[in-house]
Structure 1
Amino acid sequence: MGVSMTDQTDQTERALAEPRPLGERRVWPRSFADRLTAPLPGFREMARTLRQGGLRPTAESLATVPGLPVEPGPLPDVDADTVAVTWAGHASWVLRIGGLTVLTDPVWSEKILGTPARVTPVGVAWEELPHIDAVVISHNHYDHLDAPTLKRLPRDTPLFVPAGLARWCRRRGFSHVTELDWWEAAELRGVRLDFVPAHHWSKRTLTDTCRSLWGGWVLSDRNGQRVYFAGDTGYGHWFTEIGRAHPGIDLALLPIGAYDPRAMLSPVHTDPEEAVQACLDLGAAAMAPMHWATFLLSAEPPLEPLARVRAAWAATGRPREGLWDLPVGASRVLSREP
Structure 2
Amino acid sequence: MTQQSESTKTTSTGKGTSRNTTSTTTRAEEDADDSASSSVQAEPRPQAGRLPAFAPLGPLEPLDPLEPLEPLDPLAPVTEPAELRPPGAPRLWPRSFASRLTAPLPGLKAFARFAREGAVRPGPEGLADIPRLPFEPGPLPRVDARTVAVSWAGHASWVVRIGGLTVLTDPVWSRRILGTPARITPVGVAWSALPRVDAVVISHNHYDHLDAPTLRRLPRDTPVFVPAGLARWFRRRRFTRITELDWWEGVELGGVRFDFVPAHHWSKRGLLDTCRTLWGGWVLTARDGQRVYFAGDTGYGHWFSRIGRRYPGIDLALLPIGAYDPRWWLSDVHCDPEEAVRAAQDLGAHRMAPMHWGTFVLSAEPVLEPLTRVRAAWQKAGLAREDLWDLPVGASRVLA
Q: TM-score, normalised by structure 2?
A: 0.81
Aligned to 2:79: 12
Measured after TM superposition, the shift of residue 331 of structure 1 is 0.1
SS of residue in 2 equivalent to 1:94: strand
Aligned to 2:218: 153
Measured after TM superposition, the shift of residue 207 of structure 1 is 0.5
Q: RMSD of aligned C-alpha atoms?
A: 1.1
Q: Distance in 1 between matches of 2:208 and 2:108?
A: 22
Measured after TM superposition, the shift of residue 49 of structure 1 is 1.9
Aligned to 1:84: 149
Q: TM-score, normalised by structure 1?
A: 0.96
Matches within 5 A, 1:308-319: 308-319=373-384
Matches within 5 A, 1:141-290: 141-290=206-355
The amino acid that maps onto 2:100 is R
More helix by share: 1
Measured after TM superposition, the shift of residue 306 of structure 1 is 0.2
Aligned to 1:131: 196
Aligned to 1:32: 97
Measured after TM superposition, the shift of residue 59 of structure 1 is 1.6
1:55 has 2:55 as partner = no
Aligned to 1:3: none
1:95 has 2:95 as partner = no
Q: 1:161 touches 1:177 (CA, 8 Å); kept in 2?
A: yes
Q: Distance in 2 between matches of 1:99 and 1:136?
A: 16
Structure 2 unaligned blocks of 5 or more:
1-72
1:116 to 156, 181, 206: 181
Q: 1:250 touches 1:285 (CA, 8 Å); kept in 2?
A: yes
SS of residue in 2 equivalent to 1:116: coil
Q: 1:239 touches 1:282 (CA, 8 Å); kept in 2?
A: yes
Measured after TM superposition, the shift of residue 55 of structure 1 is 1.1
Q: Distance in 1 between matches of 2:306 and 2:277?
A: 22
The amino acid that maps onto 2:109 is R
What is the count of residue pairs matched by the alignment?
328
4+ long deviations beyond 6 Å: 6-9
Measured after TM superposition, the shift of residue 8 of structure 1 is 8.8
> Aligned in 2, Cα 1:99/1:8: closer, same or farther, shift over 3 Å?
farther
Aligned to 1:297: 362
Measured after TM superposition, the shift of residue 54 of structure 1 is 2.0
- Over the matched positions of the two proteins, sequence identity in percent amounts to 75
1:323 has 2:391 as partner = no
SS of residue in 1 equivalent to 2:78: helix
SS of residue in 1 equivalent to 2:111: helix
**Which whole-Å deviations, capped at 9, do the CAs of 1:81-119 have from their partners, x for residues lacking one?**
000000000000000000000000000000000000000
Measured after TM superposition, the shift of residue 10 of structure 1 is 4.1
Q: 1:65 touches 1:302 (CA, 8 Å); kept in 2?
A: yes
Measured after TM superposition, the shift of residue 318 of structure 1 is 1.1
Q: Distance in 2 between matches of 1:64 and 1:8?
A: 44
Q: Distance in 2 between matches of 1:216 and 1:297?
A: 20
The amino acid that maps onto 2:215 is L
Measured after TM superposition, the shift of residue 321 of structure 1 is 0.3
**Which whole-Å deviations, capped at 9, do the CAs of 1:32-88 have from their partners, x for residues lacking one?**
000000001112212212322321111221111111100000000000000000000
Measured after TM superposition, the shift of residue 129 of structure 1 is 0.3
The amino acid that maps onto 1:134 is A
Q: Distance in 2 between matches of 1:165 and 1:229?
A: 18
Q: Distance in 1 between matches of 2:160 and 2:121?
A: 30
Structure 1 unaligned blocks of 5 or more:
1-5
Q: 1:49 touches 1:261 (CA, 8 Å); kept in 2?
A: no
Q: Distance in 2 between matches of 1:195 and 1:230?
A: 10
The amino acid that maps onto 1:274 is E
**Which whole-Å deviations, capped at 9, do the CAs of 1:220-273 have from their partners, x for residues lacking one?**
001100000000000000000000000000000000000000001000000000
The amino acid that maps onto 1:273 is E
Query: Which deviates the most, 17-26 or 150-159?
Result: 17-26
Q: 1:235 touches 1:267 (CA, 8 Å); kept in 2?
A: yes
Measured after TM superposition, the shift of residue 7 of structure 1 is 7.8
